[in-house]
Structure 1
């Protein structure tokens, strides 16, 4: 007898439908859902007893649940079939904050899932997740990592040094943040073993908060129990940026995404990902606004005549604010092609703002952003050619590419805890001899980094120093000077903090840019200095780029 029929024998209520996919209530706040391939028992909070391949895939682990902002896990009050077709049912679980849906096809190993907001209010994080049998799912896979999860014993033997971060006897670190990645660069994430795999596949990312630089957690080993954790964080304005909350509108939908089960094959999951891309937007979603979509096309040209090739383009909130902090509506990301053209397909209709910035490459010298408000998407919108204003001042030197990341610097990527401490305390960069590849991704330790350069002639009285940061974690402090004259300081009083530097983020946190007028350059040798005069372990400044130009 299969596990499904054992569960049927325990049922206290009749089946809603005789088809393969089913919802069965077994108590006042207990339900069983699934099909002939799998089924799970859902309680008021946790989904347990996940039967697949005739075995329980959860075992002693916590199971499946949904939560907002920490361990504020949702409590399910009722469940019903809210929509169905010839070969699927849509089961909605109702809580005070919103409804979580499982769309179960008769022949699918897994289920589509989505969440509809009712009363979440102001939140920074919304997630669903599976905590699964660690013996059956020993490995984790993201587009950046595919390897065994750290062992539970190794975590227990290590010393906790900060939030979910443990130092082993040999000085290495174990942390769930090493498994983070950028949400719009993902294909599929999951945990797997020799015979079973459990995966999250997102064919669209329009319901994720933020822009290209949005990053969050994926999979890890639960440090308190050893569970294999498969995370699905769909709203995050906290982990790798300045923490903000956003007020969620009634009826907002996160998803649908696919939770997919297989025999542990990553190549099969990759094929399934490609298949889901071709199906999206899903026709079975019973929501008129979901199906109301248009497109946006256009091109970007710099005011100096160049095409904005390879620029990052973001379609976000219509009220202009930092793209990374946006998390109320739906968001779309792309890059311009070699001729500066961009396009967005299947955009939900509504009001948007358009944002663009350099992503390096041919326009790596551009440090300004492009913004345009009042972009109304109804059907197919052609914005034609948009002119992006850029300064034309003569550049004296530049270190790094303006792309809001630590691209090209020493220790830039991948995610790894504690790398900021490996940067030198004192360092000299000589323009004309040193290259950007010599610069370090982070300044953290007490000391001074000097940029030494020559100006054969003073072409203008003043110069402009552009300091672009890819992130900042307090309470490190940095003083900037030109030929021993202080230009200003960067610290917790004038730079908002993010957690990237101490949570394994070596590429970006929250972007900041500052400009300083320099009036004391001289013919011959000049020195611009960056002095860290307040130190906090693993905190500091992530560098994007530094440029000096005549003002």
Structure 2
């Protein structure tokens, strides 16, 4: 929708563009201008447009800034605008919708603003986001922690053939997809879009407002396929690479503050700013009581066999959880890794009661399939919650072979952890043979999709008295439409992996190469089925779907 500004409104706008310090200026009942002497943006009933910085409109003909949930199905409409707080340091301007309050915290000499959202009436949802859709002649490239380079052009998309959601094949057979611009958000220090003269960045230091665990991935930037707008996404509650994450949020939950930052497009400057923000967290100027009420949690984990839990992934999340760590998202979440001796520490944890989990992140504890869970971890304001020595009980079984580290990731396999690329799983073979305890894991491909059989050969030189065993299957992700039957020595069906029994996530068909939603299965093998000498386990795909299938983490065979 385009607005035609009256002479009076235009005069007010010009006055805003030359204002000194943070300001809120009303143009009419539905349009307001906020900013400082460095930048300003005009915000209408839904969209923020006319983003002026260094005398340049960074939105241009694009859609601009808005807040929405469940994709583009529900954009927040602003009912009122007001100055929430004014101090000598900053101006906090609040835009209120039926679902909650969106705040812009504007400092005098800051190019950009801190933003945060307070829930008052959000429905149960999976996706909640804020975003900029910016001018495609000003911003040409995108930057995440793992990808930096030119975005595909609008012309390239228009000249290509669509093959699935937001994915196109070009005449030369290569693919364009927005999902190549995905990253693990808890690893991100800053990300955004930039060009030769301007950059727009998001910096979220705390990250406790994000849903999910260490492996939470989100789409961060992309090219909007219908208009060519450059999109800078802030998925503060997202589901792009999960089987499910639908949450009902308590009234008063706060996302943020995060920093939206403008500069001249220099990555070095954006990186420096991110480092500076990390030193300021948690922000002293934000007087929200829940935000400022924090404590510390620490402890030391060792395995029941005496090994330290070296490098273990440690997660502080829902108390008495009924969801996976990746799918948790109603409250606040914290991630870290144990050191070489099993020590871990969480700083700046909001006061509440939590459930603490730990799992193998590979390395010296690569064989541990169990998950540690300790409930009722209470954090009090200004206090240190010391959990002391924690014993993590392992499965306690004798291993026959293991293929791949248990770390919930496909790393170590062929293409595992490769740069994002659509249809990469199609390069994995239909049939494959791997020799356990002798082969290199690079011989095993990261994903199985095509009709065919993958075989693991393993030797048993001496049969024990009790030959019953457990086959543990750990999947780094699974995209539906592919089913597999598992056989021992060609004749004995051990079990099945099917769409009916596994929650699906979009990892394989959305350019994922490392992880999606983790799944773990154990299949019992009765005694007397092994033979002395060479044995084999077959994974036979009986139903296939293009670009879908199993993303492998680890396969372990152990005596029960």
TM-score, normalised with respect to structure 1: 0.97
Q: Give me the whole-angstrom Cα distance separating, in 1, the residues matched to 2:40 and 2:205.
A: 24
Contact persistence 1:38–1:50 (CA under 8 A)? yes
SS for the counterpart of 1:209 is coil
Query: Who is 1:285 aligned against?
Result: 286
SS for the counterpart of 1:123 is coil
Most deviating of 351-360 and 278-287: 278-287
Written as runs of structure 1 = structure 2, the 5 A alignment for 1:321-470 is 321-378=323-380, 379-412=383-416, 413-459=418-464, 460-470=466-476
Q: Give me the whole-angstrom Cα distance separating, in 1, the residues matched to 2:502 and 2:250.
A: 30
Q: Deviations over 1:412-467 (max 9, x none)?
A: 12221111111100000012431212111100000000001110011232121111
Which of 461, 473, 478 pairs up with 1:472?
478
Which of 498, 521, 531 pairs up with 2:540?
531
Q: Give me the whole-angstrom Cα distance separating, in 1, the residues matched to 2:13 and 2:339.
A: 60
Q: Give me the whole-angstrom Cα distance separating, in 2, the residues matched to 1:149 and 1:314.
A: 34
Query: Who is 2:523 aligned against?
Result: 516
SS for the counterpart of 1:362 is helix
Q: CA deviation at 1:121?
A: 2.0
Which of 529, 538, 541 pairs up with 2:550?
541
Q: CA deviation at 1:507?
A: 0.8
Contact persistence 2:20–2:37 (CA under 8 A)? no
TM-score, normalised with respect to structure 2: 0.95
Task: List gaps (5 residues or longer) in structure 1.
Answer: 1-5
Query: Who is 1:3 aligned against?
Result: none
Q: Deviations over 1:179-237 (max 9, x none)?
A: 0011101011111111111100111110000100110110011111111111110101x
Q: Give me the whole-angstrom Cα distance separating, in 2, the residues matched to 1:366 and 1:168.
A: 44
Q: Give me the whole-angstrom Cα distance separating, in 2, the residues matched to 1:260 and 1:386.
A: 42
Query: Who is 1:310 aligned against?
Result: 311
Q: Give me the whole-angstrom Cα distance separating, in 2, the residues matched to 1:9 and 1:105.
A: 25
Query: Who is 2:97 aligned against?
Result: 95
SS for the counterpart of 1:10 is helix
Contact persistence 2:118–2:253 (CA under 8 A)? yes
Q: CA deviation at 1:18?
A: 7.5
**Are residues 1:199 and 2:208 paired?**
no
Q: Give me the whole-angstrom Cα distance separating, in 1, the residues matched to 2:410 and 2:481.
A: 20
Q: Give me the whole-angstrom Cα distance separating, in 1, the residues matched to 2:85 and 2:20.
A: 14
Contact persistence 2:245–2:328 (CA under 8 A)? no
Q: CA deviation at 1:9?
A: 5.1
Off by >4 Å, runs of 4+ in structure 1: 6-9, 12-15
Q: Deviations over 1:80-127 (max 9, x none)?
A: 111122121000000000111100001000000011111002011111
**Are residues 1:482 and 2:488 paired?**
yes
SS for the counterpart of 1:273 is helix
Q: CA deviation at 1:319?
A: 2.1
Query: Who is 2:513 aligned against?
Result: 506
- Matched residue pairs, number? 544
